[in-house]
């Protein structure tokens, strides 16, 4: 319990530090922060008195640390401020974009688990065979391929050339809609997001399982007459799952930041696309709200990964206690 409380305290300090650095960097960026609050033609027509009044209304005339302290006080009350671009509460903006991002990332993660892990375990049980080498080479090429290139290839083949799937958006702008139509719009961005993760997790599952199969414990089990299937499940599958569980800390923050490029390319109305729009328009409250959300998810993911790893293999928990 003491270790958990210590980790929570360190995690909270990390989130505060990240938010402060983000606050300072955003304040130092060049450009007119009032441009996000009003159209450019309006801000150009404002005289000095009007600009000072608008800056005072937004709190931009106060010192940096004072503004940061006020923002932290609002966060503790559950108030993340208002978006300068849409004038809506930041919490409302995040909640509105959260469901599409969860939908996209959970679909991609499901594809990774369904196809990536069995593929890695299959390759681990057939080391050195021509098919395993070809599979490993293909996974390496897939992992090295840029996400935007994969996205353009999938869009060109399945949407433009063959016309099998929609090219853009989460729902059709007009016409019939339903579960099948939503799945059709989800197929391309989820597949594109899953391919990179599939290559990574498949290679990780293969390497960890292969280490377990070549360990002394596995060799001893074979000499005692244990079947190869039981050796695999006991000495390769479990260490592989522990290694994968430790990476869950990267999955939760990926719900926000991991799909930025994919959401932009496919016009997906999620948190990643909101992040890009907020940075380009200097919408500071939205950027800060997303930063706090990403940091909190990273902390939660790290703690969750430790808990899952301890449930899968008690030796992991015992090692932490020592």
Q: What is the pLDDT of residues 219-257, one digit of tens each?
A: 888 888 888 888 888 888 877 777 677 666 666 666 566
Write out pLDDT tens, residues 262-295.
Answer: 898 898 998 888 888 888 877 888 988 888 888 7
In sequence order, what are the beta bridge partners of 89? 82
Return the CATH class of domain 96-321.
mainly alpha
Please tell me the pTM assigned to this model: 0.80
For 84-241, list the strands marked E by DSSP. none
The mean pLDDT values, 10 residues at a time, for the chain of 322 residues are: 71 83 83 63 62 76 87 87 86 90 88 89 87 89 88 93 90 73 91 86 87 86 86 82 68 65 89 86 86 78 70 56 48
Label each residue of the chain as H, E or C. CHHHHHHHHHHHHHHHHHHHHHHHHHHHCCCCHHHHCCCHHHHHHCCHHHHHHHHHHHCCCCCHHHHHHHHHHHHHCCCCCECCCCCCEHHHHHHHHHHHHHHHHHHHHHHHHHHHHHHHHHHHCCCCCHHHHHHHHHHHHHHHCCHHHHHHHHHHHHHHHCCCCCCCCCCCCCCCCCHHHHHHHHHHHHHHHHHHHHHHHHHHHHHHHHHHHCCHHHHHHHHCCCCHHHHHHHHHHHHHHHHHHHCHHHHHHHHHHCCHHHHHHHCCCCHHHHHHHHHHCCCHHHHHHHHHHHHHHHHHHHHHHHHHHHHHCHHHHHHHHC
Please give the pLDDT value at position 154: 93
């Amino acid at each position: 319990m003491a270790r958990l409380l210590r980790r929570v305290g360190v995690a909270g300090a990390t989130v505060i530090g990240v938010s402060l650095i983000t606050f300072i960097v955003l304040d130092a960026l060049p450009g007119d922060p009032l441009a996000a609050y009003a159209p450019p033609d309006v801000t150009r027509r404002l005289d000095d008195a009007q600009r000072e009044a608008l800056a005072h209304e937004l709190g931009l005339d106060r010192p940096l640390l004072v503004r940061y302290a006020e923002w932290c006080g609002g966060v503790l009350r559950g108030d993340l401020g208002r978006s300068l671009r849409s004038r809506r509460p930041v919490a409302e903006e995040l909640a509105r974009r959260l469901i599409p991002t969860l939908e996209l990332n959970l679909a991609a993660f499901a594809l990774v688990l369904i196809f990536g892990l069995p593929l890695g375990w299959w390759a681990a049980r057939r080391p050195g065979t021509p098919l395993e080498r070809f599979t490993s080479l293909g996974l390496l090429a897939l992992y090295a391929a840029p996400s935007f290139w994969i996205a353009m290839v999938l869009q060109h083949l399945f949407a433009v050339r063959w016309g099998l799937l929609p090219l853009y958006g989460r729902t059709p702008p007009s016409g019939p809609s339903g579960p099948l139509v939503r799945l059709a719009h989800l197929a391309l961005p989820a597949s594109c997001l899953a391919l990179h993760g599939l290559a990574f997790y498949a290679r990780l599952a293969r390497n960890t399982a292969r280490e377990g199969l070549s360990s002394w414990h596995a060799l001893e089990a074979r000499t005692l007459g244990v079947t190869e299937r039981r050796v695999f499940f006991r000495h390769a599958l479990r260490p592989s799952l522990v290694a994968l569980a430790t990476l869950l800390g990267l999955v939760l923050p990926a719900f926000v930041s991991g799909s930025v490029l994919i959401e932009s390319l496919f016009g997906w109305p999620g948190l990643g696309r909101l992040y890009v729009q907020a940075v380009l328009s200097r919408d500071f409250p939205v950027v800060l709200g997303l930063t706090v959300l990403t940091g909190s998810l990273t902390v939660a993911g790290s703690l969750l990964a430790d808990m899952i790893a301890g449930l899968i293999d008690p030796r992991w928990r015992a090692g932490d206690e020592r």
